Amino acid sequence: MNKYKKLITNTIIFGIGTFGSKVLVFLLMPLYTRVLSSTDYGVVDLIIQTSNLLIPIVSLGIANGVIRFGLDRSIRKSEVFSVGLAVILTGFAIFLIFIPIVSKITYISGRTALIYLFVLMSALRTLCSQFVRSKEYVRLYAFDGLLSTFTTIVFNVLLLVVFKLGITGYILAIVISDLLSTVFLFSAAKLKRYVHLNHINKDLARAMVRYSLPLIPSTIFWWMTNVSNRFIVAHVLGNEANGLFAVSYKIPTIIVLISNIFMDAWQMSAVSEEDKRSRAKFFSKVFNVYQSILFLSASCIILFSKFITKILVSESFYLSWKYIPILVMATTFSCLVTFLGSVYMVEKKSYLTLSTTVVGAVTNVVLTFLLIDKFGVNGAAFATFISYFTVFLIRAKNTSNFITIKWNVPKLVINTIIVLCQSIIMIFEVKYWIIYEIILVSLMMLINFSLIWNNVKKLIKK
């Protein structure tokens, strides 16, 4: 199959599953913001983000090794899966020793057992889903996304509305959904036949851990870039302000959704492309279409940020729209950074992923502290944008040592200026802002839509 056709086919299949698992859960925002107060939502966000921080530490980030080595045709799949499972079970057993320490964290107090279940089930589900993806069972992977959607919705409604369990119900719904997803994948893909814990390939285990280890601090620093400012906002401005900030973060995830649909398929195509001569051309073409889609999506979301917020959240959360424009810009560049990270994945240069991520995390924390007192929550949002923008510039320069991507620099600069102007106009509610926004979105479409449409027409012809 033609590599472009394969990329698009896999993107569509992953899109079906991701649309279900992400978009429909995203539409639960009206439920969350009506059942939970802004303070409770701020606490829930901190608990979830803390758990997400613990997962790569407990599992040694082995899921990264599973997808990378699982896609390598020269390595036995059973050895890859067995190493991944052994590392997760061992890491979790060690993690149990730290229960007394974890239970003393203020906002986790009384919910330690749920945190442990969250970490275990999330790690196991990620292991199974990444291994299934490495086996190129893309339809099964997509169907699991739909199944996860259904169970998440059912248990959210049951635990939050019927039983009114609040924060505990929110977390428990995710845990149960991950459990059912793990059982489904293990059964449907017959993963039992790949479990050989008594015969672990030690050389492969060392190679996978060596690849994954630098990605642990990398994940932690990404977490710092994405989430640290929420803890700072909670500390400086209070949980209520953090609740609004957390809700505003949900809207830009529309862009992350679009990006993740593509990146799931792209990682498979990027690794399988072995011809170095055609690789640069492949990466260049795909990146230029990818960035056009991202910026066009960002421009439209900024235009409709008030409208989207009005529909998706309760009245008490409506002011969160003010933080969306800058966060949309930050999210757009985070997606561009992720694309460039695929170069490091192909080359197995995980230490470069770490070093560039450290720069972003430190930049974000320092700027958040400097800007939050003067500009409030939007100061934290702008700090995140600058941190991702900085990492993008570094990776754009650094990845050229491995793959020479032909950048359309003028378009990239113009796209960035347009969304920046849109953000300023929207935040300050400039007089006749709606007219200016429509003009800028139209300009964005004029610059980017033709490239997207031409590629769509080529695919239709094929």
For residue 275, the model assigns a pLDDT of: 62
Distance of CA 311 to the CA centre of its chain: 24
Distances from the Cα of 153 to the Cαs of 176, 188, 393, in angstroms?
A: 11, 22, 39
Residue 220 lies in a domain: no
Check whether 15 has a pLDDT greater than 80: no
Residue 221 lies in a domain: no
Which of the listed residues 151, 181, 213 is the one where a domain comes to its end? Answer: 213
CA 317/CA 29 separation, integer angstroms: 11
Let me know whether 196 and 240 are in one domain. Answer: no
Let me know whether 134 and 5 are in one domain. Answer: yes
Which tokens sit at 413?
């600069």
Provide the domain count of the chain. Answer: 2
pLDDT digit string (tens) for 297-307? 999 999 999 99
Residue 299 lies in a domain: yes
Residue 123 lies in a domain: yes
Average pLDDT, the chain: 85
Check whether 31 has a pLDDT greater than 60: yes
pLDDT digit string (tens) for 341-358? 888 877 778 788 888 888
Let me know whether 96 and 238 are in one domain. Answer: no
Let me know whether 159 and 206 are in one domain. Answer: yes
What b/e readout covers 38-70, taking b as 16+ CB neighbours within 10 angstroms?
Answer: bebbbbbbbbbbbbbbbbbebbbbbbbbbbbbb
pTM for this structure?
0.72
At which residue do the structure tokens 């995140």 appear? Answer: 384
- Side chain identity at residue 246, one-letter code: A
Let me know whether 178 and 250 are in one domain. Answer: no
Let me know whether 170 and 250 are in one domain. Answer: no
The 3 state secondary structure assigned to the chain is CCHHHHHHHHHHHHHHHHHHHHHHHHCCHHHHHHHCCHHHHHHHHHHHHHHHHHHHHHHCCHHHHHHHHHCCCCCCHHHHHHHHHHHHHHHHHHHHHHHHHHCCCHHHCCCHHHHHHHHHHHHHHHHHHHHHHHCCCHHHHHHHHHHHHHHHHHHHHHHHHHCCCHHHHHHHHHHHHHHHHHHHHHHHCCHHHHCCCCCCCHHHHHHHHHHHCCHHHHHHHHHHHHHHHHHHHHHHHCHHHHHHHHHHHHCCHHHHHHHHHHHHHHHHHHHHCCCHHHHHHHHHHHHHHHHHHHHHHHHHHHHCHHHHHHHHCCHHHHHHHHHHHHHHHHHHHHHHHHHHHHHHHHHCCHHHHHHHHHHHHHHHHHHHHHHHHHHCHHHHHHHHHHHHHHHHHHHHHHHHHCCCCCCCHHHHHHHHHHHHHHHHHHHCCCCCHHHHHHHHHHHHHHHHHHHHHHHHHHHHHC
Structural domain boundaries enclosing 362: 229-462
Residue 120 lies in a domain: yes
pLDDT digit string (tens) for 36-71? 887 787 778 778 878 888 999 999 999 989 998 998
Share of the chain above pLDDT 70, in %: 89
Let me know whether 267 and 201 are in one domain. Answer: no
Let me know whether 201 and 261 are in one domain. Answer: no
Torsion of CA 98, 86, 125, 345, to 10 degrees: 100
Which of the listed residues 213, 237, 254 is the one where a domain comes to its end? Answer: 213
Check whether 272 has a pLDDT greater than 70: no
Check whether 35 has a pLDDT greater than 70: yes
Q: Is the dihedral of CA 399, 14, 289, 423 positive or negative?
A: negative
Let me know whether 251 and 185 are in one domain. Answer: no
Which of the listed residues 161, 186, 213 is the one where a domain comes to its end? Answer: 213
Let me know whether 339 and 199 are in one domain. Answer: no
Residue 219 lies in a domain: no
Let me know whether 145 and 44 are in one domain. Answer: yes
Confidence category of residue 380, pLDDT binned at 50, 70, 90? confident
For residue 27, the model assigns a pLDDT of: 66
Which tokens sit at 248?
């505003």
For residue 459, the model assigns a pLDDT of: 54
Residue 222 lies in a domain: no
Let me know whether 310 and 337 are in one domain. Answer: yes
Residue 51 lies in a domain: yes
